[in-house]
Amino acid sequence: MSMFFINLEVDSSERYDLAKFLEYSDNFDPLTSSFLKSLKDLKYVGTYVVQGEELRPELLSYRIFGNVQYWWILMAYNAINSHEDVVTGLVLKYPSLEDIENLYFSLKAQEVSR
């Protein structure tokens, strides 16, 4: 099984477009994503308690990171599989944007050198 880093051919204006990190094929397996595997190893720098009006992942991403594009990273980091699992009182852990960026650039460099 080969490891998939970042698909640089995906045309998207968002740096963290999920399609860049998951290889879609007949044998689709999200566990081949180096980004998702490495993301879980990042240390968390804070926690956030979900309030009743913030049950949408993109709103939580905006509250925590100041940008909605990190919603799926927040979900993956906390092992949340569905937006329905985001409930009032849920405590979310989150890594620093700097650590996310460092991970992104290290995997991008690995993809380019392949």
CATH number at residue 53: 3.10.350
Both 21 and 51 in one domain: the answer is no
| Sequential pLDDT tens for the chain (114 residues) | 455 666 777 777 777 776 666 665 555 455 567 888 889 999 999 999 999 877 899 999 999 999 998 998 999 999 998 989 999 999 999 999 999 988 888 877 776 566
DSSP 8-state class, residue 80: -
Both 30 and 51 in one domain: the answer is no
Q: Containing domain of residue 53, as a range?
A: 44-94
Is pTM beyond 0.85 here?
A: no
Both 50 and 90 in one domain: the answer is yes
